[in-house]
Structure 1
Amino acid sequence: MSGDFGKVGVLYGGRSAEREVSLMSGAGVCEALRSAGVDAHLFDTGRRSLLELQQEGFERVFIALHGRYGEDGTVQGALELMGIPYTGSGVMASSLAMDKVMTKRVWQQAGLPTPAYAVLRADTDLDAVARTLGLPLIVKPPHEGSTLGVTRVNAAGELRAAYEQAARFDTDVLAEQFIAGRELTVAVLGSGRQARALPVIEIIAPAGNYDYEHKYFSDDTRYVCPAELPAEVAGLVMELSVRAYQAVGCEGWGRADFMLDAQNRPWLLELNTSPGMTGHSLVPMAARAQGMSYAELCVAILAEASCKVREAARHSNET
């Protein structure tokens, strides 16, 4: 089951606002890989230099980092320079997916459904934004995950405080049309034409509040997998997940998040290129629904680890 992967580093922790979640994800992944016979070792990028990966002979890495400096292309670029194969998407796709505004622009260009939005800055006319997009709105930092800094705005007078909350994390802030309905998520495995969607999950949080606490620590949130949807709706959501993933150029694995409105129309919200792998996480849940254990999932993701810059390009200056 383990394959011949050599010495494997599980990159976790890091320096982002999602460090706590990453510590849980990495610990779970490392334990699972070891149970499958992989020579896996935890490596906290928030405490250690990436240069130690080369110095200590790591042959590939599983990226279990979330947020900045781990999911945004920075670590991926360093690993490319060192020639160490890594899991998940490359530099460009990681960077794009980490920026919710840029992701939405790519999706719009590809004709994929995503809620209307505006970018907020310190000098933005917030009243005009509220009039244009309508209320309620969702206000969030474009470069954070795990619902950090996210506010639902029900009245125009609340928009300034929501902007200031999100601006603690980002200079630019995303205001997005609120889509009422059912919250869905779909994991995608593989790359290119081989990418495939796992079963759709519906997230049912208390009072519809799927916040940081309900994502990772509370047992009050319910998950339905596969989601109870008409077959044609489930098929459409899965198809859109793969198309959204491919449009951004993702590889290895990822997860697309949706809202399904009252007319059963799916709306893409965001794409995660290094999803959570904790006990409450959604990708392992979807894999289980297809008969794949947590350890099998981790090994399958690790098996696709690669450098995305081809060797011919890497050595082109030597000839």
Structure 2
Amino acid sequence: MTVVETSNIELFPEEARAALDRLTHVASTALQGRVYSIGPALHLVPSRHAVFQGSFQGQDAVFRLTLSAEAQATTTKEWDELARAWAYMNTAPLTVQEPLFHAPEAGLTITALAKGEGLLTALWRLPSEERSAPIARSADWLRKFTAPTEEWRAPNRRPWRSWAEKAAEKQPHDSLRNVESRVFQKMKKLYRQIDFPEWRVALAHGDFHLNNLFWDGQTVTAIDLGATNHAPLYKDIARALVHMARRGMLPSGSRRFGVDAAAFEAFTKRFEFSDQEENGFLPYFICFEALIKVEHPNMPQARLDHAEAMSNALLDDLKQIT
């Protein structure tokens, strides 16, 4: 479950051209009789999927093409999950992309283009004092998304600790490896402290960070929903908070468990967390997210500095509760 952070389309020019050739061929067969056009590449994960902008039946659209048999096996689940969410998240200001077309045998999915830009990108354009409202809106979106499927289940802690440990062993940067090894020791202590009979789970977004929420100033539209899977509620929240912090997005100027304190509070209040959820379960998953995202060997120094600062601040707060 280790994830190496590389998402820049310019890193894979040959793969992008090959994906465009394949999409052109697939579309010519799967979309016969429909009006469409294929535009520029938006995103590429080699051997997983490629995403292109275009139009479909007169509507701005996104074309997503799987690039391997393994990825294609999940495309129907992802389509079904989008259709499930669209049924109750189809109106502004909290919505998901409209599902437009699916050809499972071809690994092709077409959705409506989300308006605006990634919320994290948009935040950088705003003064610090104006960032709290959009961040709170992201918490509103997640609350609406998870509400129909939330339930309490017995904690399944071990896989998360195991995945975090394996990922931390692959950290290529010495400065991060040092602090992350200490974070993992605190995560193990939290593991032993999580002895409550239940925690909250829900059908998860799967990759919930603020640039997977598009914002046009009013409406938040989620993209990149994963296949249907129950996960602890705290995982998606921790993903968003850590993603912000490791990029230096700290609007409040203060931290809690290494992430922006005000953003932490926005999510915990929106979900009405108990003390155990706020000071046990969520920090456990902040540890997980801090360790699971292994930085690329060529990651810019600024990103490494942000990651190290976040992990050191996380460690300081963990010492207060473990």
Which TM-score band (shorter chain)?
under 0.3
> TM-score under structure 1 normalisation?
0.24
